[in-house]
Structure formats: C-alpha cells, structure tokens
Amino acid sequence: MNVQEYISSGIVESYVLGLASEEERKEFEQYCQQYPEVMKARTDFELVLEKQAMQNIIVPDPSLKSRIWNQIGVTGKVLPMVEPVPVRKMSWIKYVAAASVILLIVSLYWNISLFNKNQELKNNYDLASEKIKEMEHDKQVLQQNPHVKMASLKGMEASPQSFATVYWDTASHDVYLLANNLPVPPTDKQYQLWALLDGQPIDLGMLDYYVKQKKLLVRMKNAQKAQAFAITLEKKDRSDVSKPQGDMYVMGNL
Amino acid sequence: MNLNTTYSEQELVDLLQHRNEKAFTYLYDNYSGALLGIVNAIVTDKETANDVLQNVFINIWRRIESYDPSKGRLFTWMLNIARNAAIDEVRSKGYNNSQKNVPFPESNEIAGAVTGTDITDVGLKKILGNLKGELRVLVDMSYFQGFTHEEISKALNLPLGTVKTRIRTALIQLRTMIQ
C-alpha cells in the first residue's frame, strides 16, 4: 500500500468526522496501528478540528450545568470546601477562608462576564466582517461595470474626517452610496444625498443611518445627470426636502 | 471556568472513567461551548440546542467507559456524540414542525436550500459556505444532515462511487480552509 496516497485520499478527514463506512473505519483503525504516519495524520487533523471548534464556541445557557448535574446525580461542587476550624484559637483563619471564598466567587463571576463579553464582541466582529465581505463584493461588481462612475466625497468643514463614495451607473442612472465614514447623527436628524448640476442640488434621498442597514452600500434615488454629489445633515421633520438646509458633510466631483 | 487545574488527555480520561466529578466539571467548563457550537450548526433553535447539549453531556458521563483512546482523541469522540445527537434531534418527530425534516426533499430543493449564505452561520458551517455548489451540498447533506452516502446517491441521482470521492474531495478542501 502507498501510505502517502492513502493518507491524502480524504479517508483521514472522513474517518475523524464520522463519515466513513463501517468497512472503511475498520480498515483505517487497522492501518493506524500498522503505520505511524497514518496515526499521525489522524491526530493532526483531530487537533486542527479541535482548535477550530474551540474558536467557535457558543456559551450554553447558565442553568444547563445544574440541570445536567441533577440528572446524573453528581453534587457538582466546584468550590473547595472550607473545613470548619476551631474558632477560638484560629478565628482569623475563618475570615481569611471566607474572604478567599468571596474572592473566588467574585473572580469566577468576573471570568464569566469577561468571557461572555468576549464572545459577544467576537460575534459582532464576525457579523461585521461578513458585512464588509458582502460590501466588497458589491463594490467589485460596480467597479467592473464600465458604465459606472465613481465620486469620492471628502469631508467638509462641518466634519473633515467624514468620507463617502458614490457609484453612479451612467447607463441605468442607478446611484449607490457607500458611507465609508459618517458620524452617528443625532436622533432627530438624518443624512440626505444630493446630486449637484450647475450648482443646483437635486434630492437623491435620505440615508437611514448606515449601521442599521444590512449592507453598507445603499441604493439611492436615480440621477439622470450630475456633476458632483454631496451629503448634508438635515432635520427629519423638514417640510420641503427638495432644498438642503443643514450643514454639508461631504462633497465630491465625478 | 478553569482556574488552575489542567489535565493531560490521558489523566482526564482516567479520571472520567473512574467517575471523578471534578474531572467532569473540568470537561464541561472547557468543552461545553465548543460542543454547543457544533450542535447549534445542526439544530439552529437555541433552546433545543441547549437541550441536546444536556443529553450529550449525560451520554458522555454514562458512556465514558466505551471511549477507546486508540480510535481517536477524546474531543473527537465527544464531537461525534454531539453531532449524532443533534442530527437525531432534527430527525425526531418533535422537531418536524417548522424545520428540515425526515422525508427526503427533491434534489433541486436541497441545492436551493444550501446555496444561500446565512450570515449567522459560524464555525464549520460558515467555512462550508466557501465550498463550491455541489461539494457544499454534499458536505451539508452528509455531515450536517447525516444522510448516508447511499441516500445521497439516490437523492442526487449520482453513482455511489462519485458521491464518495466528491465528499472526500470536499473534506480535503474544507481542511485546507480550516488550517
């Protein structure tokens, strides 16, 4: 038998993941005893899988542990027992012991909450990177379209660090806004995108604050003609939305 | 929470096989999250996933004597118990109402069901999303839904040998993605 060929046939992964047939299992277990390379390949993959699983944990319901312990009838005492000590002579030990138990409990609690927090952050991070991936994809599609023009909108006096990008399809007139960096608006205000033509603003729609969007890339109203684009921050209950009244945050030419 | 004790794998197995409660606590504290990760990839409902995990640990405690270190690491053994328990749950009657169920769907339905990327997927299931169409369907059906190669062969109208080689190809690709 060619051991290397056998190892790289996918049998190792298939066995470890529990997808091998009964016959394949028996054969694999026999080869593991016979060839140290096969055994090593198995352990290597097991460790890869274990590491992967340990990086993708989901914290169980906190009540689950006691439910399990009740069912299997173990006491589940995690904290070390504090032995009763003769009180008169060594009463200080009691306080030390009590204090250390309290410390231990506090530290356990601290650990658990940090752990949960960490998990939450990680989940948020995963979600965010997924969104970014999606956005990158949309961006790529847009960038590959020969009709699409791009305008980088740079921060104005009101918010110099702001930055946004507009993709305008000159064939279909579709407008997409990528809010790269816009500050969180006050709750009574919202951003509005404008196309500028001969100095005149044309309303291209309001931007629901972008973190609420599943995609960071937002489709706006179509623009027939434009020389530049700009975003202003406007009051939400404004009666006439066809003219900008608030501060201009970003602007850029095509 | 593991404060200061760590066990080597062999120590842990010895202690567990002697019904050492502290070792079992250690096992739960260190591995429950990872096992719930795999259960949750199969049983998407969180509450049900926790119930499944409860049975998984009870099974680990009761069946620890049958664990044979020569056949694989302890974690692999637990992972397979967790995966099987989750698949059983999905296939059991109680889970039929709204979720994927026992009767085999048409092959085009299966392909459709797994092509959309669900952004809440984590872990292996998420990596699965990087596999190309058919390979992804094959791994999803065999690993996450627990169909045998024979069942898949019938459902997708592919020769059994093809199903087997393609699943292996997919697993090799998955492995490189994990690493």
Q: Is the pLDDT confidence value at B132 over 60? A: yes
Condensed to tens digits (0 to 9), the pLDDT of residues A123-156 reads 877 777 776 776 676 666 666 677 778 888 888 8
Least confident piece of the model among A57-71, A124-138, A196-210, A218-232: A124-138
Minimum Cα–Cα distance from B36: chain A residue: A58
Tokens representing B105 are 């769907």
Whether A35 contacts chain B with CB within 8 A? no
CA distance linking residue B66 with residue A198, whole number of Å = 81
Condensed to tens digits (0 to 9), the pLDDT of residues B31-63 reads 999 999 999 999 888 899 999 999 999 999 999
* Contact assignment for B123 to A56 by CB distance below 8 Å: yes
Do residues B89 and B6 touch, judged by C-beta distance below 8 A? no
* Contact assignment for A72 to B61 by CB distance below 8 Å: yes
Name, in order, each residue with C-beta under 8 angstroms of B13's C-beta and a sequence gap of 6 or more: B64, B67, B69, B74
* Residue in the block written with tokens 């277990």: A29
The number of CA neighbours under 13 Å toward the Cβ of B52 is: 32
Q: How far is B93 from chain A (nearest CA, A)?
A: 23
Could you give all domains of chain B from N- to C-terminal order, each with its CATH number? 9-98 (1.10.1740.10), 107-178 (1.10.10.10)
pLDDT, average across residues B150-165: 91
Name chain A contacts of B47, Cβ cutoff 8 Å: 61
Q: Is the pLDDT confidence value at B80 over 90? A: yes
| Closest partner CB to B21 (pick from A55, A75, A127) | A75
Name chain A contacts of B38, Cβ cutoff 8 Å: 53
* Contact assignment for A49 to B174 by CB distance below 8 Å: no
Minimum Cα–Cα distance from B84: chain A residue: A18
**A73 compared with B56, residue with greater pLDDT:** B56
Give the whole-number percent of chain A exceeding pLDDT 70.
83
User: What ipTM describes this predicted complex?
Assistant: 0.84
* Contact assignment for A13 to B171 by CB distance below 8 Å: yes
Count Cβ atoms below 10 Å from residue A80 Cβ, excluding itself.
10
What residue type is A1 in one-letter code? M
Q: Is the pLDDT confidence value at A17 over 90? A: yes
| Phi, psi dihedrals of residue A162, rounded to the nearest 5° | -70, 155
CA distance linking residue A66 with residue B49, whole number of Å = 16
Q: Is the pLDDT confidence value at A84 over 70? A: no
